[in-house]
């Protein structure tokens, strides 16, 4: 594969055709799609030679990314054309081997097996895990129909090991998801995040360089490692691993104790102010600064700089704190700091925003049930990932008996990989939908082969823009590989196998779809009232009746009709402001049509900055600053340890660092990495010297969860006592079709389900006590 590398984040360029595809040579045509390797989903254009992606460049017309891409997106052919695709349903035999079966047999037997588990134990003993990855959420939209048809209520996904603590906090404070306006922020703060590699907002590297070059703005990075983003920062707060809570509490303490909060703004726009500011007034700033290892004066300088920005402060948390000690508390503390600065709704601050499909139900916060087996808090209906294996492996009568896994690789991505393998083997039934024979698929009873993200229509629901929000529904650029099916079709067949729609005549919907948008909306709603099954499995009904009327190859996008209607109903003025015309169902239909035909993406809502408070979900339209559980934890923070290491495990391992050539695990071919092929263990020069190891040498890593050997990289960006391994390594891959090889260390062979947040149950991937030993050549 050839491509133009753009490590600085500038637009990728290529020669040949101009982007309209008007060329005689099909290999010179550019096809518009998106990168699927992180949540930014930048728009790209690709050239094809047969089924190979031969060149990639940024799409300058893309509504969000505007031509931006990074080096990762330029190598997506390593995802699309990796070896090891599954091209027929696989059934596990009693001897442990797989046998290929036809689709009709697979659907019939999987359907019967799911119903059998429900008959023996109850449908609530089946867990659905997944629902989408970094670039594909449409499968999750159709899974709602399968779950309804089979009565599956228990579910989880990767959000429950990353974002549930954050969601719990935002539910209490805003009843909505918030995001920062980093392109406009006077002060941008990155907490446990390196957006140079992990992005998280449009044109990340451009924005970072613009902030760094502007003397009137400030870039603040809180990170134990001198990351690429820290290299650009005006203020790098080199916090000791796992002590972020002390630092952020100290920043809030300075604001309150020095009278730097936005008092009049708080009086008008927030409740719970007095008890919150009282809690921060009691923070021992000097002591907490010492505990986190950051000079007290630097803490005060940064707090004052944030206060001087008059609310134009945007803070971004990510996995560096979401998978470390005090994660839910830190999620609260930095939002409390933002609110005390008056940043909510300010230009360059934070705001709630519209969503095509909410990833969390923020209105349910405070009424979460407990898992009947483990007792963990089930936030937004998601069982904590750290507790799935424990629950299955217990003898509790309410334990999960079957797993239905889609667009996820929990054996590799969840803490304690071996425990999840044992849990899968303990289940009566395990079904995996995936294009590849992943680590999880290798343990399954059934593997149903899906098309890749470039062989079907796709989109994501990550969009968090404000005041303008965008959606990009991308068309397939390749035909599905023979023997595979896109997830909408897999779910359609599974739903049909239950007979739930057998007594429903869908012909009126087919006829209405031919008549137009308003006729279809009226017919759909009427049929849903007459037959509740239509509403229950609505995504499949849309796929079967509206899908055939969509542009060629786009039937799988039909489920977005409902999302478009919901957005138009909730935000009609803002949908019209974004350029869509109509009222009622006609407005939703106009938005839907723009989404499924707009190859560069579309704006689906456009607000004014004064609208931020209209997007809050709180009953009084104000920010609820005080969360009693968090204020209690803040009061006890002085009693908490600053280190979780021991004489036996003296190092802190951050398992899963983002680097230039690591991404999510959909890229299985290790050859996609231009450098650091094995995913080196980074350690400081002093630690390397004490171990007697040099770059290129081998180091044995031992943790309470397991042991592995990694290649060493002596790196002066790493703090003494702190070592890092990249994410996405240790995947089984067989380029020649023989026995699979594993390159690098799979991080979760070293993690443990025992280390978790006390509220959300999220794991400590980024803070694993470890022991290191040099391995003789």
The pLDDT, as a whole number, for residue 7 is 35
The pLDDT, as a whole number, for residue 516 is 87
Could you report the per-residue pLDDT of 79-130, keeping only the tens digit for each? 999 988 999 999 999 999 999 999 999 999 999 999 999 999 999 999 999 9
Could you report the per-residue pLDDT of 403-439, keeping only the tens digit for each? 999 999 999 999 999 999 999 999 999 999 999 999 9
The pLDDT, as a whole number, for residue 616 is 97
Could you report the per-residue pLDDT of 490-514, keeping only the tens digit for each? 999 999 999 999 999 999 999 999 9
Mean pLDDT for 34-41 is 93
Q: Which residues of 547-580 are buried (b: 16+ CB within 10 A; e: fewer)?
A: beebeebbbbbbbbbbbbbebbeebbebbbbbeb
Q: What is the percent of the chain with per-residue pLDDT over 90, rounded to a whole number?
A: 90
Coil, strand or helix: which one is 272?
Answer: coil
Could you report the per-residue pLDDT of 217-242, keeping only the tens digit for each? 999 999 999 999 999 999 999 999 99
The pLDDT, as a whole number, for residue 325 is 97
Could you report the per-residue pLDDT of 248-261, keeping only the tens digit for each? 999 999 999 999 99
pLDDT above 80 for 771 = yes
Structure tokens that stand for 120 in this block: 């023996």
Closest CA to 770 of 724, 731, 728: 724
**Average pLDDT in the chain:** 94
Structure tokens that stand for 124 in this block: 């609530």
The pLDDT, as a whole number, for residue 737 is 62
CA distance 749 to 746: 6
Is residue 37 classed exposed, middle or buried when 0-12, 13-18 and 19+ CB atoms within 10 A define those classes?
buried
To which residue do tokens 């604001």 refer?
A: 255
Q: How many CB atoms lie within 10 A of CB 71?
A: 18
The pLDDT, as a whole number, for residue 23 is 52
Could you report the per-residue pLDDT of 677-724, keeping only the tens digit for each? 999 999 999 999 999 999 999 999 999 999 999 999 999 999 999 999
Pairing of strands 429-434, 446-449: parallel
Could you report the per-residue pLDDT of 566-587, keeping only the tens digit for each? 999 999 999 999 999 999 999 9
Could you report the per-residue pLDDT of 322-363, keeping only the tens digit for each? 999 999 999 999 999 999 999 999 999 999 999 998 888 888
pLDDT above 60 for 200 = yes
CB 514 within 8 A of CB 118: no
CB 13 within 8 A of CB 4: yes
Residues 6+ apart with CB under 8 A from 410: 129, 385, 388, 420, 440
pLDDT above 70 for 1 = no
CB 475 within 8 A of CB 554: yes
pLDDT above 90 for 19 = no
The pLDDT, as a whole number, for residue 6 is 37
The pLDDT, as a whole number, for residue 4 is 37
pLDDT above 90 for 16 = no
The pLDDT, as a whole number, for residue 12 is 42
CA distance 688 to 691: 5
Is residue 92 classed exposed, middle or buried when 0-12, 13-18 and 19+ CB atoms within 10 A define those classes?
middle
CA distance 388 to 129: 10
pLDDT above 50 for 154 = yes
């Amino acid at each position: 594969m050839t491509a133009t590398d753009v490590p600085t984040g500038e637009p990728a360029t290529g020669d040949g055709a101009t982007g309209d595809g008007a060329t005689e040579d099909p290999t010179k045509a550019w096809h518009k799609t998106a990168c699927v390797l992180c949540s930014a989903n930048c728009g790209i254009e690709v050239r094809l030679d047969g089924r190979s992606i031969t060149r990639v460049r940024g799409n300058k017309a893309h509504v969000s990314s505007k031509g931006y891409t990074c080096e990762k997106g330029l190598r997506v052919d390593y995802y699309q054309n990796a070896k090891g695709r599954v091209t027929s349903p696989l059934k596990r035999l009693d001897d442990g081997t797989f046998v290929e079966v036809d689709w009709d047999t697979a659907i019939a037997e999987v359907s019967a097996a799911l119903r059998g588990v429900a008959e023996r134990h109850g449908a609530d003993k089946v867990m659905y895990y997944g629902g989408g990855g970094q670039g594909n959420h449409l499968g999750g939209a159709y899974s709602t129909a399968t779950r309804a048809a089979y009565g599956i209520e228990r579910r989880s996904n990767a959000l429950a090991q990353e974002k549930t603590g954050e969601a719990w906090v935002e539910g209490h404070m805003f009843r909505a998801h918030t995001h920062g306006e980093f392109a406009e922020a006077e002060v941008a703060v990155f907490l446990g995040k390196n957006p140079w590699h992990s992005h998280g907002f449009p044109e990340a590297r451009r924005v970072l360089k613009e902030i760094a070059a502007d003397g009137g703005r400030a870039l603040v990075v809180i990170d134990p490692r001198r990351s690429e983003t820290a290299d650009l920062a005006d203020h790098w707060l080199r916090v000791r691993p796992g002590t972020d809570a002390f630092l952020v509490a100290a920043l809030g303490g300075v604001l309150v104790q020095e009278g730097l909060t936005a008092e009049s703004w708080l009086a008008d726009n927030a409740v719970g102010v007095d008890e919150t500011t009282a809690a921060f007034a009691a923070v021992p700033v000097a002591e907490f600064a010492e505990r986190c290892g950051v000079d007290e004066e630097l803490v005060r300088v940064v707090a004052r700089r944030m206060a001087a920005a008059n609310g134009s402060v945007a803070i971004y948390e990510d996995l560096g704190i979401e998978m470390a000690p005090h994660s839910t508390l830190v999620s609260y503390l930095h939002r409390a700091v933002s609110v005390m600065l008056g940043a909510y709704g300010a230009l360059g601050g934070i705001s709630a925003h519209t969503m095509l499909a909410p990833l969390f139900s923020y209105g349910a916060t405070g009424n979460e049930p407990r898992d009947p087996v483990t007792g963990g808090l089930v936030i937004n209906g998601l069982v904590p990932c750290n507790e799935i294996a424990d629950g299955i492996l217990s003898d509790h009568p309410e334990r999960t008996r079957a797993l239905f896994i889609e667009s996820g690789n929990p054996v590799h991505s969840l803490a304690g990989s071996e425990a999840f393998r044992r849990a899968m083997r303990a289940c009566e039934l395990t079904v995996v939908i995936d294009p590849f024979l992943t680590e999880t698929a290798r343990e399954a009873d059934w593997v149903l082969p899906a098309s890749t993200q470039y062989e079907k229509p796709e989109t994501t629901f990550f969009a968090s823009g404000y005041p303008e929000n965008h959606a990009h529904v991308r068309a397939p650029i390749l035909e599905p590989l023979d023997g595979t099916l896109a997830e909408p079709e897999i779910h359609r067949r599974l739903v049909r196998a239950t007979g739930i729609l057998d007594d429903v005549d869908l012909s009126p919907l087919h006829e209405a779809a031919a008549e137009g948008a308003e006729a279809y909306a009226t017919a759909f709603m009427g049929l849903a009232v007459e037959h509740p099954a239509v509403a229950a499995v609505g995504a499949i009904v849309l796929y079967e009746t509206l899908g055939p009327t969509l542009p060629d190859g786009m039937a799988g996008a039909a489920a977005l009709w409902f999302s478009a209607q919901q957005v138009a109903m909730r935000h009609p003025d803002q949908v019209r402001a974004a350029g869509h015309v109509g009222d009622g169902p006609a407005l939703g239909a106009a938005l839907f049509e723009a989404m499924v035909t707009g190859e560069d993406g579309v704006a689906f809502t456009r607000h004014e900055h004064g609208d931020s408070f209209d997007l809050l979900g709180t009953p009084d339209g104000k920010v609820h600053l005080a969360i009693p559980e968090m204020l209690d934890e803040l009061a006890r923070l002085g009693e908490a340890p600053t280190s979780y290491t021991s004489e036996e495990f003296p190092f802190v391992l951050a398992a899963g660092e983002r680097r230039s050539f690591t991404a999510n695990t959909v890229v299985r071919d290790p050859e996609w990495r231009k450098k650091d092929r094995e995913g080196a263990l980074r350690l400081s020069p002093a630690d390397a010297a004490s171990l007697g190891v040099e770059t290129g040498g081998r180091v044995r890593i031992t943790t309470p969860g397991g042991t592995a050997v990694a290649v060493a990289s002596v790196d002066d960006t790493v703090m003494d006592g702190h070592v890092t391994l990249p994410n996405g390594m240790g995947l089984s891959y067989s380029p020649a079709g023989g026995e699979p090889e594993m390159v690098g260390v799979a991080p979760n062979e070293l993690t443990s389900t025992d280390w978790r947040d006390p509220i959300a149950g999220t794991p400590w991937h980024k803070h694993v006590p470890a022991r290191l030993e040099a391995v003789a050549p």
